[in-house]
Amino acid sequence: MSQATKSFSETVRAMNSTSRAKRRDDPDRNITPLEATRGIYIDFEALSGHEPSLVGYSVDESLVQVVTDDRFQSAADAKGLPVTPFGRLMSELHERAVTEDRRIVAFSQHELRVTEKWCGIDLGDRYADGRKIGKWWINRCEPCARPAEWSLAGFEKCLGIERPPHFGYQKAAKRLRDMLTQLGRRFEYDLLTPVAKAKWTKLLDYNAVDVESLVRLVRRVGDDLGLGEE
């Protein structure tokens, strides 16, 4: 073997070793069964280019939904939901995660980036990425056929979760937009059309299913692999 070839081979081996170490040490992907059980699971619904209008989160199997846009005050009141500024809510959740030694789990890097952009809060020290966790699980354990895309819908199929078809996917922004249009015309939730009210209900149900599916995915992986444990 020539010196140049040997040097190249050594470089490739070093790069592969670094890549493997990075995968092992990736805090976004590693989670223990205990962390999965005690996690704070979050999901945001927002209009494009705006801070979230709705945050759903689950702690200890208890779902909480908080409206973070006061333009939806009457819609929140109609469903008995609290209205809290987005920055304050995320500050409280981050403080809780730190104080109670919990992980904050979302499906991708989206919630991490959004929280930093709109609140200036870095969740990185507590954050876990459900998509990364799920990909590692499927690639390692092969519990099902590799999904066509690494979406929450793909993981739901693998877990045997049947999402009600009328919820659809990626429709949250449109439902928020339609609600704002209706509230702008009629001012109060009680004066909205039945169709508009149904869209608000579907949005809340959609968000709840997203959170629950994320919980089931990450807890399953934690049980199967115990990622992060030595």
Answer yes or no: are the C-beta atoms of 43 and 64 closer than 8 Å: no
Residue 185 lies in a domain: no
Give the pLDDT score at 53. Answer: 96
Answer yes or no: are the C-beta atoms of 200 and 113 closer than 8 Å: no
Residue 193 lies in a domain: no
- Residue 101's CATH number: 3.30.420.10
Answer yes or no: are the C-beta atoms of 56 and 208 closer than 8 Å: yes
Residue 14 lies in a domain: no
Residue 176 lies in a domain: no
Give the pLDDT score at 12. Answer: 37
Residue 39 lies in a domain: yes
Q: Identify the domain containing residue 105 by its residue range.
A: 29-163+208-223
Distance CA 142, CA 135 (A): 10
Residue 186 lies in a domain: no
Residue 79 lies in a domain: yes
Q: How many domains does the chain have?
A: 1
Summarised one tens digit per residue, pLDDT across range 103-118 is 999 999 999 999 999 9
Summarised one tens digit per residue, pLDDT across range 19-32 is 334 434 566 778 89
Tokens of 104: 């904050």
pTM for this structure? 0.84
Residues of the chain below pLDDT 70: 1-27, 166-170, 226-230
Tell the residue number behind the tokens 């709109």, with chain if given.
Answer: 118
